[in-house]
Amino acid sequence: MNGAGMATRKTDGPAGAGGERASAGQAPLLEIDRLCVSAHINGQDWRALENITLRVDRGETRGLVGESGSGKSLTLRAAMGLLPGSLSVTSGAIRFKGRDLLADGGKAMAAVRGTGIAMVFQEPAVALNPVMRVGRQITDSVSARRGWGRRQAREFAVELMDQVGIRDPKRWVEAYPHQLSGGMRQRVMIASAIACGPELIFCDEPTTALDVTVQSQILKLFSKLQADLHAGFLYVTHDLSVVAEFCSSLSVMYAGRIVEQSDDLKAMVQAPVHPYTRALLGAVPRIKGPIQRLRGLSSSAPPLTERSQAPTAPLAEVSPGWQVAPASPEEVELFETGVQAWEAQA
Ligand SMILES: Nc1ncnc2c1ncn2[C@@H]1O[C@H](COP(=O)(O)OP(=O)(O)OP(=O)(O)O)[C@@H](O)[C@H]1O
Ligand SMILES: [Mg+2]
């Protein structure tokens, strides 16, 4: 059975470099347009996201990288309508296939969540319901939508579990999350994300909580899904070797802003423009092999309450599809020092 029409939406091949740019008249899959999000802390509003603008097209895998606290998860959460209560969107737009998801008080957002856009979280043990059998968790939303009975849903769960590489799925379909290993739980979460055949998949550090061997198995699964589903992916990671392997485009965040992004990952990695991107990528042009975190760079972005509240200038276009934020003299000094420290150690 392939009842949901999911997960085999194979079309004309794997997600290639740059995916498919939406052609004239066709709206991009995801378009985040000057999105601002504020956090309400101790009676005061602080900027958490500032003018986030990015897009993801069909068949594209866009990496989203930046130091801890830079706003990667908030960007995904805002685009899914899942911001925590203390945070709210203050301006900007989020469009899915041209439809404004913020326009009608959350109805459009709720309609696409799960079916159009799905999310794979970092920590499956937290994201999965501990008292629900995994098979049911995988198919809950799709079977409710399609009015499936228990048997039909179970069969589909087994099929999906097989597709995400869980061996002997019939044995595990009635298990509870705690009975599964970390890698199996992450596979269950991926199965549940693809159950409704989403066109866009958000991944928030989906392998960080796993040990190295399991990480590489899950990464192989993502490669397969890239080829099979022809969905768009927005992939948050700290691991730049994962970016080099999976992504065709890249957005770099720092302190709640996009500082540089390009539809052409390779070009940007070879000649990053913003001092933060240069620092993050080690200022060394290389795309093959592991790209490691710069040792001289701090490991986290400044907290919201210590960030500049001055208005930020819009991104400037370096070339079509490649934009860079102007860097302040303080930022240039801060990040250039990081680059020099790295070069001294190299
Ligand atoms: N519920 C919340 N209330 C207030 N501030 C928050 C909340 N959640 C996140 N923040 C703040 O928003 C900023 C961005 O957080 P976010 O979780 O998006 O970072 P991140 O880039 O995903 O970091 P990491 O790599 O550590 O996951 C951080 O400064 C964080 O402290
Ligand atoms: Mg995060």
**Which of 34-38, 81-85, 141-145 holds the top average pLDDT?**
34-38
Examine residue 313 and state whether it is found in any structural domain, yes or no. Answer: yes
What tens digit of pLDDT does each residue of 70-120 get? Answer: 999 999 999 999 999 899 999 999 999 999 999 887 888 988 987 899 999
Examine residue 226 and state whether it is found in any structural domain, yes or no. Answer: no
pLDDT band (50, 70, 90) for residue 308: confident
Residue 345 CB-density burial (10 A; 0-12 exposed, 13-18 middle, 19+ buried)? exposed
Domain total of the chain: 1
What is the model's pLDDT at position 303? Answer: 80
- The protein residues having their C-beta less than 5 angstroms from ligand 2 (an ion) are 73
Question: Is the model's pLDDT at 285 over the cut of 90?
Answer: no
* Ligand number with the minimum distance to the CA of 70: 1
Examine residue 56 and state whether it is found in any structural domain, yes or no. Answer: yes
The CA 87 to ligand 2 mean position distance, Å, reads 15
Examine residue 1 and state whether it is found in any structural domain, yes or no. Answer: no
Examine residue 174 and state whether it is found in any structural domain, yes or no. Answer: no
Examine residue 123 and state whether it is found in any structural domain, yes or no. Answer: no
pLDDT band (50, 70, 90) for residue 299: low
What mean pLDDT, rounded, does the chain reach?
A: 84
The atom of ligand 1 lying closest to the CA of 40 is: 4
The atom of ligand 1 lying closest to the CA of 122 is: 27
Question: Is the model's pLDDT at 18 over the cut of 90?
Answer: no
Q: Which of 50, 74, 240, 304 to mutate to test the pocket of ligand 1 (most atoms within 8 A of CB)?
A: 74
What tens digit of pLDDT does each residue of 159-192 get? Answer: 999 989 999 999 999 999 999 998 999 999 999 9
What is the model's pLDDT at position 125? Answer: 78
Domain that holds residue 274: 30-116+198-212+231-345
Examine residue 54 and state whether it is found in any structural domain, yes or no. Answer: yes
What is the model's pLDDT at position 341? Answer: 54
Examine residue 63 and state whether it is found in any structural domain, yes or no. Answer: yes
Which CATH number is 316's domain given?
A: 3.40.50.300
Q: Which of 38, 64, 87 to mutate to test the pocket of ligand 1 (most atoms within 8 A of CB)?
A: 87
Q: Which of 70, 257, 280 to mutate to test the pocket of ligand 1 (most atoms within 8 A of CB)?
A: 70
What is the model's pLDDT at position 229? Answer: 85
What tens digit of pLDDT does each residue of 205-243 get? Answer: 998 878 888 888 888 888 888 888 889 999 999 888 889
pTM: 0.87
CB of 129 closer than 8 Å to CB of 137: yes
119-123 mean pLDDT: 87
The CA 123 to ligand 2 mean position distance, Å, reads 11
The CA 49 to ligand 1 mean position distance, Å, reads 10
pLDDT band (50, 70, 90) for residue 135: very high
